[in-house]
Amino acid sequence: MPVTPKISDQFEACALCDILIHIDQVDMGAKAHCPRCGNLLFYPRHMSIERTFALSLTGLILFMPANLLPMVGIKILGNHKDGTIWGGVESLYDGGMWGLAILVFLASMLFPLLKILLSFLVSGCLFFERPFNSLSTWMRYLKYLDEWSMLEVYTLGIIVACVKLESMAELHFGFGLYAFTGLLLISGILSGTLDEHLFWQRIDNLQHNADQIPETTLKD
């Protein structure tokens, strides 16, 4: 029978001040802070793996319509033009602002996609208890991507553009905008509700159990 290591058996290092802490089991919903710097160490959240899996799956479904379908349609002097995120990247690139185009592409498309995809893969493996050698690497990259995925910046750009154009043009909001709003909410909730400590603990358990299963069994 697999042995599950208990939190109280381990020392944990604070990510900010590196102090080693021997911590007892933290109750669901309670917060444990570092006694030296006050950094939030543990915040166990109910059904974090299941929630992350469901949210990331929804995020993957919304990603294509959010990026490729028209977000805002602008009608000015009889001319009508639909705006998409990908169209915005292309316009910036064609206008010679290739540096900004790359930044928008990375922060608003590639990094959010990778973040949601990695959330889906990691939570899916944990949910179905499927061990993978890359699980730890995926989890580590997921943490880095959290800081680079900036859908909020693009949202601010859309709001500013809409406010400026409101008085001189007719605006229509497309399905892409609703999908993008959903994606923005999902991205925020994913960052806020992922119980990092639980994920690492479950990854550790999964890999520990996989190491104890004979290779012939894994191949089956």
Give the CA angle between residues 124, 130, 136 to the nearest 5°: 75
Find the shortest distance in angstroms from Cβ 23 to Zn ion.
12
Q: Say if CB 109 and CB 86 are below 8 A apart.
A: yes
Q: Name which of residues 90 to 109 contact Zn ion (CB under 5 A).
A: none
Binding mask 20-49 for Zn ion (x = CB under 5 A): --------------x-xx-x----------
Nearer to Zn ion, 13 or 68 (CB): 13
The number of residues making up the chain comes to 220
The C-alpha atoms of residue 109 and residue 89 are separated, in whole angstroms, by 10
Q: Name which of residues 145 to 164 contact Zn ion (CB under 5 A).
A: none
Find the shortest distance in angstroms from Cβ 34 to Zn ion.
3
The C-alpha atoms of residue 140 and residue 203 are separated, in whole angstroms, by 12
Please tell me whether residue 15 binds Zn ion under the rule CB under 5 A.
no
Find the shortest distance in angstroms from Cβ 4 to Zn ion.
26
Nearer to Zn ion, 14 or 71 (CB): 14
Query: In the structure encoding, which two tokens stand for residue 197, read together?
Result: 């400590």
Size of the site for Zn ion (CB under 5 A): 7
Looking at 6, 13, 17, 164, which residue binds Zn ion (CB under 5 A)? 17
Q: Of all helices (H) and strands (E), which one includes residue 199?
A: helix 196-212
Nearer to Zn ion, 130 or 143 (CB): 143
**What DSSP state is assigned to residue 169?**
S
Please give the C-alpha separations between residue 58 and each of 66, 124, 180, 193, in angstroms, as whole numbers.
Answer: 12, 13, 12, 15
The C-alpha atoms of residue 184 and residue 170 are separated, in whole angstroms, by 25
Of 6-14, 67-75, 122-130, 156-164, which segment contacts Zn ion by CB under 5 A? 6-14
By CB under 5 A, name the binding residues for Zn ion: 14, 16-17, 34, 36-37, 39
